[in-house]
Structure 1
Amino acid sequence: MVFLTCVCLGFIIAALGSITPSFLNLTVVKFSLRSGRRSALFLIGGFATVLFFQANLGAYLSSVLMENSEYITLIQQVGTGILILLSLNFFRLYKTSKLKKKKIEIEKSKAYLHGIGMSLLNTFAVPFYFTAISFLIGLEYFKYSFINSLYFSIGSTAGSFTLYAVYATVASKIEERLTNIASKMDLILGCLTGVVGIGNLIYLL
């Protein structure tokens, strides 16, 4: 029962996190159109491999916070700095994304490694899982342990893989729409992280 609960929670949370337009699922769509669905699945496999460990790390950090409340202020301070830096980075990405860039062909044999590299650049994964799992712990839906974290990570890996596979399957139908949304995501994320970061800074001061 615990196994099923943790896997389902991981699957649902990862699916919700993966459904939002981002550079990861946009890459899946473009890669699927250019190299085929099979190659895109190898790319997604690279994403999912890294997300497995990111979910584990997020679960561990959330357990540390819940058991050591004296670290909350320090985490808030570090988190505020990270949010402000992320905000500046998203604004930079939004500005540079307007410039036309030459498409780089990726060999099918390197799709998996390329997926791992891109997933490592996904700076929101660990904070996302950290926040989600902390929320679940607070509601007493999740109790941290190594085995529970492992089950949760298995579910999150399956959830991410499933959602990205859907993007790869319907790539030709959603490319233009997803591209239009994703082109504005950096601006939206920059504004959101900036507002939250400044809000936290004012609160800490």
Structure 2
Amino acid sequence: MKNYIIPAIRLTVVLMVLLCVIYPLAITYAGKMAKGKGDGETISKNGKVVGYALLGQSFTKPEYFWGRPSAVGYNAAGSAGSNKGPTNPDYLKDVANRVDTLLKYHPYLKRTDIPADMVTASGSGLDPDISVKAAQIQVKRVAQIRHIDENKVAQLVAQNIDKPVLGLFGPEHVNVLKLNIALDNLK
């Protein structure tokens, strides 16, 4: 029995030190080396924090670019998808309503021109980014409402495209909060 208990106690102590002290310290240190020093990358406007780079926000005014819809109302405490399948009548009604709203504010679009990320919520419900096409279809509306040259707004979108990580991982995308702040600073 002694041959089993003492090695088990030693292993337990070694694993406790490794997993309860060394590993958390290493992860904390790695987090402090990242953007935002482990507290998340904040986005500021006029010296005031207005949001986080990895957390979507609701933009509903027509003079701003709109983000991806959220199934949880952009509430980070309740991050989740809707859990409704593609044949669920409630889900289909939500998507149809979003398409109708987009077409109301973008009468120059056809249904087939609308990117899926503009009418479907993400798995987390908190996506801060939209596809490049989703930003581009909104350029005309934003430019008209703000009385800005459409080419300037399109150029602003092009300047705010985030490339894939290391040029390989993920698609190009646009952070909606950063784009809207740049839009406010355009004047």
Bigger RCO of structures 1 and 2 (CA < 8 A, at least 6 apart): 1
Larger CA Rg, structure 1 vs 2: 2
Shorter-chain TM-score bucket reads under 0.3
Which of the pair is proportionally richer in strand? Answer: 2
